Amino acid sequence: MMIPFYKMHGLGNDFVVMDERTERFGLTPARIAALSDRHRGIGCDQFVVLRPACRAGADVFVRFFNADGSESGACGNASRCVADLLRQQGGGASSVLQTQAGLLAARIDAPGEVTVDMGPPALGWRDVPLACEIDTLHLPIDGDPAAASMGNPHVTFFMTDLPDPHEAGPALERHPLFPERANVGFARIMSRGALRLRVWERGSGLTLACGSGACATVVNAVRRGLVDRTCRVDMDGGSLTITWRAADDHVLMTGPAVTSFVGTVDLDGYPS
């Protein structure tokens, strides 16, 4: 069964996008993990599945899966890519994405440049979630990290020297305090308006950029009084501009969305 897909990326955080709006392809977690494999499959950090929207006002229902086949409620970089894909397919300059974490409004600022309203962060211990009642601004873990949910769980370490995320990332992702695992951000404050970030992503490992991680890091940095509400986030793959709007508590993320190529894949060669 030959199935079309889009290969897209936001700052090098790369995606396979499959459109199941008219037909289902049997995309089980095992099949998604196999397709995401960089050596034996197509290869991507996240696998994105489009389905028909079932909420009023939404244009499409978007599901995000990590390279290991696990599902996430949010993916900032992929949200920008899907909004730009809808534009390429004849949609307008704005769209509404239905996700597991709620409705996200997206606006095309220019072709390939997108702002997504990622909604308000969730800052309660149950929201992240954490395993027990703890102040999310100071977790009892070496390095005094903070936690926040942007529809997915993030923990942020503020440091003067950034470590190699491969060293501490895997153990922190599965720390007992995070019952659903966590995305682990290592951030260095550069000024009130800029920070440097590397993220070890739950289910995918180190990526070149993490949109929801950039949002969570700015939220945590603002809560700690370290940066202003609009902040540039520099990652290995490039920069995003994040604004945590005081008026309504929403987090806005602006950055690029790129289509690398369109292809087809024979799904019969992959486990079902």
Ligand X SMILES: N[C@@H](CCC[C@H](N)C(=O)O)C(=O)O
Shorter beta-carbon distance to ligand X: residue 38 or 192: 38
Q: Is 211 in the site for ligand X (CB under 6 A)?
A: yes
Tell me, what amino acid is at 270? Y
Q: Is 222 in the site for ligand X (CB under 6 A)?
A: no
CA-CA distances (angstroms) from residue 198 to 38, 130, 264? 21, 22, 32
**Owner of token pair 């034996």:** 40
Q: Is 115 in the site for ligand X (CB under 6 A)?
A: no
Q: Which of 44, 210, 215, 231 is catalytic?
A: 210
Please, what is the end-to-end C-alpha distance for the chain in angstroms?
12
**According to CB under 6 A, which residues from 39 to 58 bind ligand X?**
46
Confirm or deny that 73 is annotated as ligand binding: no
Residue 1 neighbours by CB distance under 10 Å: 10
**According to CB under 6 A, which residues from 9 to 38 bind ligand X?**
13
Question: CA 55, 16, 208: angle at the middle one, nearest 5?
Answer: 105
Shorter beta-carbon distance to ligand X: residue 173 or 267: 173
Instruction: Record the tokens describing residue 158, joined without a space.
Output: 């503020």
The 3-state DSSP class for residue 245 equals coil
75 an active-site residue?
A: yes
Question: CA 226, 228, 232: angle at the middle one, nearest 5?
Answer: 95
Distance CA 72, CA 55 (A): 19
**According to CB under 6 A, which residues from 65 to 94 bind ligand X?**
66, 72, 74-77
Confirm or deny that 70 is annotated as ligand binding: no
In the complex, least distance from residue 59 CB atom to ligand X, rounded to whole angstroms: 20
| Residue numbering of the annotated binding site | 13, 46, 66, 76-77, 152, 183, 201-202, 211-212
Interaction site with ligand X (CB under 6 A): 13, 46, 64, 66, 72, 74-77, 152, 183, 201-204, 207, 210-213
